[in-house]
Chain A
Amino acid sequence: MDSSEPLPSGEPDDHPTVPTQRGNEDAYLRVRDLRVRFDTSDGVVRAVDGVSFAVERGRTLGIVGESGSGKSVTSLAILGLHDPRRTTITGEISVGGRQVIGLAEDEVRRLRGRDMAMIFQDPLSALHPYYTVGRQIAEAYRVHHPKVNRRAARQRAIDMLNRVGIPQPARRFDQYPHEFSGGMRQRAMIAMSLVNDPALLIADEPTTALDVTVQAQILDLLADLQAEFHSAIILITHDLGVVGQVADDVLVMYGGRAVEQGSVEQVLRAPQHPYTWGLLSSVPSLHGDADADLLPIPGNPPSLINLPSGCAFHPRCRYADRAGSRSRSEVPELRPAGADGHLVACHLSAEERATFYAEDVARVGVAR
């Protein structure tokens, strides 16, 4: 690791507080300076490089980024799902007060499923095709409730299927995943993740494979379940529209680092980082001028093996020259930007950002 590279967060003691209006000491999930590295034959991949955030119960954090931004690697690290032989994880992950990093495998397993659970993008590959849906849900329950007999576990699974809105749950219990439609499979997977009432739910692109009307149903369902179980949710997505709809806080990742963090109002209404601007103005909207050209981000997402020096976004940034050679030599620190709890990692000064945003981005009319 390049030792001249400053920690994006400065001293561990004055680590930037996570952008929640309330204190985060009692947040259910706390992640501090998380770094995940894979040693591959092509070189070291710094998939996550100094990311910090917290999620309280009852709140939703949206993690936004493109492929290779480190968003999924972060969630797998929280769940302790990385192969320890090939992965180096440093930093701090606290789930309900317990450290996940360094915890023995069987202890992590006890946390996983009971205290934290995950919903995957593709329910068909996450559900086993050989077993009935109900059996898989009941098994997930019995793993953490070994004293429960089969009949009670079955009843619990049927209750969960009913709770996630699957009609005729008792009949559906005995069906196989292929007999479910895409939306129903995603519901079944949500039922399986929630069967032990986990306090933390990580949803990795839970609606990307679904149609919009079904996506709306699933997002509603997640919101209802969150209100009922008071769970902390991490929603990983590339869709800023989904984030705007369900998230309380947003973390924008690029090249394994956090480039912007804040409340959903701050990040989507007053975005500070040129990458966030790019995401907002490149997404076609249902409002605004349909004939106006979209403003794409030039170039491609970077390779994590060969991350650009300095600010990883600088080769695609329209304003990289304004920050001089610093953009190529220095990794920008995550610093407070304007409003309370809003953080941005950019070399531009606040005044410069305000000017560019007003001139180039707000004019496009997408990010209002």
Chain B
Amino acid sequence: MTDEPLLRVRGLSKHFPVRLGLRTTGLVRAVDGLDFDVRPGETLGLVGESGCGKTTTGRMLVRLLEPTSGSIEFDGRDITHAGRRELRPLRQELQIIFQDPYASLNPRHTVGRIVAMPLQVNGIKPPGGIKARVQELLELVGLNPEHYNRYPHEFSGGQRQRIGIARALALRPKLIVADEPVSALDVSIQAQVVNLLRDLQRELGLAFVFIAHDLAVVRHFCQRVAVMYLGRIVEIGDRADIYERPQHPYTRALLSAIPDVTQLGPAGRIRLSGDVPTPLDPPSGCRFRTRCWKAQDICATEEPALIPRDGGRQATACHFPEGEPVSTSPEGEAASTSPGGDAASTSPEPAAAGPGVATAGTGRGVAANIEEVSS
């Protein structure tokens, strides 16, 4: 694996204007300044709750959406604002798999035609003919090549998703953006598709940006994981770091909220109160502070930067990441015990007696709402 990234994203943002009549009354900051790299053959998981901007990011990466600012470099070329013609050769190397296998296949085209489409559009004549290549692709994704002439409605959800995967593979891409590729499938089928994607990734050396809300699925597929919250990456790192040593409170809350089948009964977990705030008017400073039990005055005034820790592979955007001395309020102390067991070390220093920042009270109120539920 070379160190030269295949995909380099810097300061990527997408703001959607909200219009009332002719006036623009606001901006939805769906994605607001993302930095990340994907190296050849690497799988990056983009996780977060709905509205965090992960799908918007995926669509910008394949240029289905025009970024507002920032840059996307693919294979050394700046493609941020590339036009249709410049994009055409690029689309061969950069493909997308959609979430809904029912909406993403044309019901009036045969499977053969759907999978052949990328080849025809790009004027590619594979040796042996298009049909042979399509059948090879169908076989690769575990479908019967004889079903070339069937229509999408004759296939189940899992098989349709395989068709979408075959179509994405048709041009031998280097990078595939997979937007929630298994979340619309039945549980027993999800595992089939995840295993297929893993096999393909290993055999073909594909790089993936895997967008998902299910952290357990991401853990089985991705080498690196970026956790998003309200349009920002709050933590990024190798799989083992994110799942075993999460440093951002949001990552920890997200992990502890997942009901795990290996644990029976009410699990000890961090309760986050409230909902994700609106991206129309995100909180000042750290965007997570309104739901964070560690929030202090500084969190409202200063936005934490995504700072690498532990030798640079894991970066966390938090003023009080795990493992560093934090001045916690009593409520915060009670809430900071996690199933991971590493309680934040409390320093004897009193909480920063900052000059009356209006939001400090809110932070406390939220902290009081967080209770540790222990079994």
Q: Which residues of A contact B (CB under 8 A)?
A: 66-67, 181-184, 211-217, 219-220, 223, 238-246, 264-265, 268-269, 278-280, 282-288, 290, 293-298, 300-301, 366-368
Contact = CB atoms under 8 A, between A and B. Distances in A.
A244 B259 CA distance: 8
Contact of B271 (A184, A220, A293): A220
B243 interface: yes
Nearest to B272: A213
A184 B265 CA distance: 25
Q: Which of B156, B188, B243, B264 has the most CB of A within 10 A?
A: B188
Contact of A244 (B187, B243, B261): B261
Contacts of B245: none
Contacts of B262: 244, 285, 287-288, 366-368
A261 to B, nearest CB: 17
Contact of A268 (B254, B264, B267): B264
Contacts of B259: 215-216, 219, 239, 241-242, 244-245
A279 B49 contact: no
Interface stretch (B23-31, B110-118, B210-218, B324-332): B210-218
B50 A285 contact: no
Contacts of B266: 220, 223, 245-246
Given A284-B191, A296-B189, A296-B192, A367 B261 contact: yes
B273 to A, nearest CB: 7
B257 A212 contact: yes
For the complex of A and B, list the 8 residue pairs with the smallest distance between their C-beta atoms, beginning with the closest.
A241-B259, A296-B191, A282-B191, A211-B49, A297-B188, A294-B191, A284-B216, A216-B257
B198 interface: yes
26 contacts: A212-B257, A212-B258, A213-B257, A214-B49, A217-B271, A220-B271, A239-B259, A241-B261, A244-B259, A244-B264, A244-B265, A245-B259, A245-B263, A245-B266, A245-B267, A282-B187, A284-B191, A284-B219, A290-B239, A294-B191, A294-B220, A296-B188, A296-B195, A300-B156, A301-B186, A366-B262
Contacts of B214: 284
Interface of B: 49-50, 156, 158-159, 186-192, 194-195, 198, 213-217, 219-220, 239, 243, 253-255, 257-267, 269, 271-273, 275-276, 373
A296 B263 CA distance: 21
Given A241-B258, A286-B216, A66 B187 contact: yes
